[in-house]
Structure 1
Amino acid sequence: MGFFKAEDTIGGQEARGYITIEGRNEELFYAKKIEAKVEKQKSEIKTLGKRGTQNRAIGWKGTGTLTVYYATSLFRELMLKYMKEGKDVYFDITVINEDPTSSLGRQTVVLKNCNLDEVSMAAFDVDSEVLEEEMAFTFEDVDLLNKFNKPILG
């Protein structure tokens, strides 16, 4: 019986992120954390002969949060574009996880048609050593460009 080797865990700092917005790519070098989830939307179904309620998937919703160091005006500019001009900007986020110590290789995920829900327009905190901001977003599609290899069991 094999076991999962500790060296095959993926380090949290061993990642890269990119945003593709209005035809240009920008590295998310100021990003600290991203988490994107897909939640199934379900309908409850009751049928004759079954006392319990059954569930049927009817769709999905993609949501996420992006935490960045307070070191860019990009996201404020996007929100202002919507506020002042009514133009809502959609973008893609590419996340690459690749830890050189691990035998798992690389995973590349593209979150497509991301759209911001909220943005901090101004911030300061006299008790904080480093300013950060967390932004909620939605996305409409996902591509898995590279998959992790299967682990080599010890």
Structure 2
Amino acid sequence: MQTMNAKDAISASLAECFISIGDERYNFMQAINLEASIEKTKSEVPILGRTGKGNKATGWKGTGSATFHYNTSIFRELLANYKKTGQDVYFDIQVTNEDPGSGAGRQTVILKDCNMDGGILTKFDADAEYLDEDMDFTFEDFEIKESFDVLPGMKR
């Protein structure tokens, strides 16, 4: 029985994250964590001759969340612009995971047309070691620019 080598686990902190808003590109180095996922929407399909129904995928929805250090006003400025003008701003997020010690290689995913659900305007905490903030968002599309390599023993 072949098993994965421990060295092939991807280090949780070895990633890069970039935010593109219009013509501006930012190294989102203050990110602590980010997670994005898709949820398939399905319709139940009645099938003659079966007691149960089938399920057919009919679409998907992309959602995500991020936690980052409270040391940038970029997202607050987007919210302020929306308040003033009613014009919402969409942006792209690019995440690359690469651990040079792993045989898995590198993966890069671009989340396209991201839109914040809201955000923190201001905060303080006299008892905290540092300030961070959370952001929930949706995205309209995604592209997998680079995929992890298939590890030895995975393919038969």
Q: TM-score, normalised by structure 1?
A: 0.96
Cα offsets for 1:103-136 (capped at 9, x unmatched): 1111000000000001001111222211111100
* CA-CA distance at 1:40 after TM superposition: 0.1
RMSD: 1.0
**Is 1:145 matched up with 2:145?**
yes
Residue 42 of structure 1 is matched in structure 2 by: 42
Residue 52 of structure 1 is matched in structure 2 by: 52
Residue 3 of structure 2 is matched in structure 1 by: 3
Secondary structure of the structure 2 residue equivalent to 1:79: helix
Residue 93 of structure 2 is matched in structure 1 by: 93
Q: 1:21 to 1:49 in 2, by over 3 A?
A: same
Secondary structure of the structure 2 residue equivalent to 1:38: strand
Secondary structure of the structure 1 residue equivalent to 2:87: coil
Residue 107 of structure 1 is matched in structure 2 by: 107
Residue 21 of structure 1 is matched in structure 2 by: 21
Greater CA deviation, 8-17 or 38-47? 38-47
Q: TM-score, normalised by structure 2?
A: 0.94
Residue 116 of structure 1 is matched in structure 2 by: 116
How many aligned residue pairs are there?
153
Tell me how far apart the structure 2 counterparts of residues 7 and 97 of structure 1 sit (CA, whole Å): 15
Tell me how far apart the structure 2 counterparts of residues 69 and 53 of structure 1 sit (CA, whole Å): 47
What is the percentage of aligned positions where both structures have the same residue?
47
Tell me how far apart the structure 2 counterparts of residues 40 and 123 of structure 1 sit (CA, whole Å): 36
Tell me how far apart the structure 1 counterparts of residues 114 and 42 of structure 2 sit (CA, whole Å): 23
Residue 61 of structure 1 is matched in structure 2 by: 61
Residue 78 of structure 1 is matched in structure 2 by: 78
Tell me how far apart the structure 2 counterparts of residues 45 and 130 of structure 1 sit (CA, whole Å): 51
Tell me how far apart the structure 2 counterparts of residues 6 and 24 of structure 1 sit (CA, whole Å): 39
Greater CA deviation, 144-153 or 20-29? 144-153
Tell me how far apart the structure 2 counterparts of residues 115 and 4 of structure 1 sit (CA, whole Å): 37
Secondary structure of the structure 2 residue equivalent to 1:33: strand
